[in-house]
Structure 1
Amino acid sequence: MFFNPMDYLRPMAQLGRIAAEAHTVIALRMAGFAGIWPMHPDEAVRMVSEKVEAGHDSVRAAMVAGLNGRDPAEIAMAAIRPVRRHTRANARRLKDESSVK
C-alpha cells in the first residue's frame, strides 16, 4: 500500500469541523449553565452520557473498518463519523433551543 498524505485531508477537515462545532456546543452549554442561554434542565446528564455513546460508536466503527481491511484514512473516517454526528446534532439542537423558550 502506497502512503498518500492527500488521503488524510478529508479526515483532517472533518476533525476541524468537529473542533468548531465542539467550541459552539461548549460555549452554548456554558452560557446555559450560567443562565444566559435557554437550556434543557437535563443537559448536564446528556452532556456526559452522549460522550460514552459517541466513544463506543467511534471505536466500534473503527474496529469494523479495520477488520474489513480498510486503509488507515478510511479507518480514521469511520472513527470520526459518529463523533461528528453528535457534535453537529448538539450544535443544531442547542442553537434551536433558544427559540423554544
Structure 2
Amino acid sequence: MPMPWKNQPDLLSMLVALLMTTLGAIASYANRVIKGERFSWLVLLLQVIVSIFAGSLMILAGIHYMWPLEVTGGICGLAGWSGPALIKALEARFLSKAGDANAGNQ
C-alpha cells in the first residue's frame, strides 16, 4: 500500500529551493548594480519578493514533475535570477493556451 506522505516534498528540498531563489534574486540585483544602477534596499526587497513568487511557481512545477533536489534548486535559482521575466513568459503561455481553448468554444 503506497504511503501518501512519501509523495510529499521534504523540508530540505523546499529550503534549498527557497535559498536558491533568494540567491538568484540577490545575484541578479547585484549584477544590475555592477552595471551602474544605483543601489536601493527597497528595490532589492521588491526584487526578492517577485523572485520568490517566480521560484514558488518552479517549486510547484518541481513537485508536479518530481524533479530531483538538484534540478529543482537550479531551476529555482534561475527563476530567482529572471524574476519578472519568467512570470511574464509563463503568463503569456498560459493566456495563449486559454485563448486557444476559448476560441474553439465560440
- The alignment's TM-score, normalised by the length of structure 1, stands at 0.41
